[in-house]
């Protein structure tokens, strides 16, 4: 079913997608705003890709964002892969009942993703609130709510467990779009894709590790409680890294690649948010 939906999506994508230089719907003013904000022309490289990658991997802002997003990713993939198994094994539900219960936290996550991670963040910034404070505060709150999964470790009541899991997944869900908006705000010109790739690469690594680690932990302890406690501890570490390494959400000074490697330009270009 999922594969069929992906295949069907190919048609509207092929018909509707255009590169910016070929789009008839992109106004010149909007195109200028995008380019000035840090995007690069199609097919144009922003300096030496490996040198840029090395430069970005030395930036605390990049690691603050990456480690915070990794903490999100561990719990997210844990929920994605283990909620049905947890309900069936630990709470002795049937496959059908666990399917209905699994729907609840994902409905909550969908609502918080759109309402808080999208609309509410934009509304606060439009009202003049400090963008860095808004994004860092709400992202941190989202991860803090994710720690609510620890509550599921101390109950055998399915209804109570789903309430804790829904709170946790709802928080993680609205943290995600906030995290994804940050690469476009901190990346030096022409490196938005690289910053996003670093963040997502490590996020997917913990996504691979989370269900495997959960299996080993469950096999060793005979209980899912330890998995929820581990997820909570990882979220605490992610929050600390995010708050203290990311700093102010602003563009990293642009590296200029020369014979001696990258060095920092004293001039910083304008910033544009990407979605």
Cβ neighbours of 182 (radius 10 Å): 26
d(CA 108, CA 61): 31
d(CA 254, CA 45): 14
What integer pLDDT is reported at residue 191 of this predicted model?
A: 83
What integer pLDDT is reported at residue 256 of this predicted model?
A: 55
With a cut of 70, which residues of the chain have pLDDT below it? 37-47, 255-275
Degrees to nearest 5, angle at CA 140 with 162 and 123: 95
Per-residue pLDDT tens digits for 88-122: 888 888 888 888 988 999 999 999 999 999 999 99
Any idea of the CA torsion for 173, 175, 176, 177, to the nearest 10 degrees?
110
Residue ranges of domains in the chain: 46-264
The two three-digit tokens of residue 251, written as one number: 């563009």
Burial 41-73 (b: 16+ CB within 10 A, else e): eeeeebbeeeebeebbeebebbbbbbbbbbbbb
Cβ atoms of 270 and 36 closer than 8 Å? yes
What integer pLDDT is reported at residue 124 of this predicted model?
A: 94
d(CA 118, CA 178): 8
Degrees to nearest 5, angle at CA 233 with 232 and 238: 95
User: For 224, which DSSP code?
Assistant: S
d(CA 112, CA 173): 6
What integer pLDDT is reported at residue 189 of this predicted model?
A: 76
The two three-digit tokens of residue 65, written as one number: 């964002």
d(CA 213, CA 230): 10
Cβ atoms of 147 and 236 closer than 8 Å? yes
* Cβ-based neighbours of 93, under 8 Å, separated by 6 or more: 87, 101, 158
* Strand-pair category, 261-264 with 255-258: antiparallel
Architecture of domain 46-264: Up-down Bundle (1.20)
d(CA 162, CA 97): 12
**Residue 262 — φ and ψ, nearest 5°?**
-70, 140
d(CA 12, CA 17): 8
Per-residue pLDDT tens digits for 91-100: 888 888 888 9
């Amino acid at each position: 079913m999922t594969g069929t939906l992906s295949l069907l999506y190919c048609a509207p994508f092929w018909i509707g997608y255009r590169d910016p230089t070929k789009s008839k719907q992109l106004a010149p003013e909007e195109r200028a705003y995008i380019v000035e904000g840090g995007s690069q022309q199609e097919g144009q490289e922003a300096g030496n890709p490996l040198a840029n990658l090395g430069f970005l991997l030395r930036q605390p802002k990049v690691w603050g964002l990456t480690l915070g997003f990794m903490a999100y990713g561990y719990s997210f993939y844990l929920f994605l892969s283990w909620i049905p198994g947890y309900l069936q094994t630990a709470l002795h539900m049937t496959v059908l009942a666990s399917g209905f219960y699994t729907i609840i936290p994902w409905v909550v996550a969908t609502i918080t993703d759109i309402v808080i991670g999208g609309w509410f963040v934009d509304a606060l910034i439009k009202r003049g609130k400090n963008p860095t404070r808004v994004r860092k505060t709400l992202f941190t709150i989202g991860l803090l709510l994710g720690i609510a999964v620890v509550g599921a470790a101390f109950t055998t009541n399915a209804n109570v467990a789903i309430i804790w899991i829904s709170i946790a997944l709802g928080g993680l869900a609205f943290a995600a779009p906030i995290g994804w908006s940050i690469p476009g705000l901190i990346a030096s010109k022409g490196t938005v894709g690289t910053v996003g790739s670093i963040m997502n690469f490590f996020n997917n690594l913990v996504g691979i590790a989370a269900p495997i680690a959960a299996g080993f932990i469950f096999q060793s302890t005979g209980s899912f409680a330890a998995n929820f406690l581990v997820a909570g501890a990882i979220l605490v570490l992610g929050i600390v890294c995010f708050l203290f390494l990311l700093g102010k959400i602003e563009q990293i000074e642009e590296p200029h690649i020369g014979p001696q490697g990258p060095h920092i330009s004293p001039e910083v270009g304008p910033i544009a948010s990407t979605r």
